[in-house]
Amino acid sequence: SQKIEQNSEALNIQEGKTATLTCNYTNYSPAYLQWYRQDPGRGPVFLLLIRENEKEKRKERLKVTFDTTLKQSLFHITASQPADSATYLCAPGRGSYIPTFGRGTSLIVHP
Amino acid sequence: DADVTQTPRNRITKTGKRIMLECSQTKGHDRMYWYRQDPGLGLQLIYYSFDVKDINKGEISDGYSVSRQAQAKFSLSLESAIPNQTALYFCATSDSTSGSNTGELFFGEGSRLTVL
């Protein structure tokens, strides 16, 4: 069955540094991959989508890469701020846009 | 007001009781979803509906049922609640007709259910 892996341990970084989060998938060939942000007790909020024919997508301080050979997506936040502290979920999918969510990685940015 | 509204936000109930979680949206989206989230786990799809006449089971539909009363309303029922259904439940919507074609899901604020 398809499996989506995100680092279960929280990522702690200092303000101003670049945060890099990883999403790996197996037994799956997604046509796209979405990234969401989730704050404690809140619903996830969509950030970015990258398609299988795109290597990289940027939005403000966010950058996402998608390597279908490695079966991996990397999510980068440059010049990180304490307000970026949250859980980030990756959600690969194909077809009818019903993504399957990973468990998420908690990011903590220290001032 | 929130675009995707879930009620109740919190509910404590006992084993064997029937529970209904309601979701309404003002976004005009055609698609609606119910997800469940357990601590440390990802979002698991319970049911989804692509339009009023279309209901589909997700990966964990056992013990749950849904009703799409109108395009804007999608309710989730637990006919006989059990403790392992204690979780945070999210309703979400998406628009298959928009030109952006990102498949973006818009989530409600969640309904926290505790079954004793």
A21 vs A64: CA distance, rounded Å: 10
CB pairs under 8 A between A and B: 54
Is B110 within 8 Å of A43 when comparing Cβ atoms? yes
B104 vs B29: CA distance, rounded Å: 11
Q: Which residue of B has its CA nearest to A51?
A: B102
Distance from CA of A69 to the nearest CA of B (A): 22
pLDDT at B91 over 70: yes
Q: In a 10 Å sphere around its CB, with 0-12 CB exposed, 13-18 middle and 19+ buried, how is residue A40 labelled?
A: exposed
pLDDT, one tens digit per residue, over A32-43 is: 899 999 999 899
Q: Which of A8, A46, A98 shows the shortest C-beta gap to B45?
A: A98
pLDDT range class, residue B1, cuts 50, 70, 90: low
A34 touches chain B (CB under 8 A): yes
Q: How far is CA B88 from CA A59, A71, A77, B3, B51, in A?
A: 30, 30, 28, 19, 24
Q: Which residue of B104, B106, B112, B113 is the best one to mutate when testing the A interface, meaning the one whose CB has the most A CBs within 10 A?
A: B104
- The answer for residues whose C-beta is within 8 angstroms of residue A25's C-beta and 6 or more apart is A2, A3, A4, A5, A71, A72, A92
Which pLDDT does position B28 carry in this prediction? 93
The angle formed by the CA atoms of residues B4, B5 and B9, to the nearest 5 degrees, is 135
The DSSP 8-state label assigned to residue A15 in this structure reads T
Chain A hits for B96, CB-CB cut-off 8 Å, are: 97
Across B9-18, B34-43, B92-101, least confident range? B92-101
Amino acid at B36: R
Q: Which residue of B has its CA nearest to A96?
A: B103
Distance from CA of A52 to the nearest CA of B (A): 13
Show pLDDT as tens, one digit a residue, over chain A (111 residues).
778 999 888 999 999 999 999 999 998 888 889 999 999 989 999 999 999 999 899 999 999 999 999 999 999 999 999 999 999 999 998 876 678 899 999 999 999
pLDDT, one tens digit per residue, over A61-75 is: 999 999 999 999 999
Q: Which residue of A has its CA nearest to B43?
A: A101
Chain A hits for B42, CB-CB cut-off 8 Å, are: 4, 89, 100-104
Chain A hits for B35, CB-CB cut-off 8 Å, are: 101
Which pLDDT does position A69 carry in this prediction? 92
A50 touches chain B (CB under 8 A): no
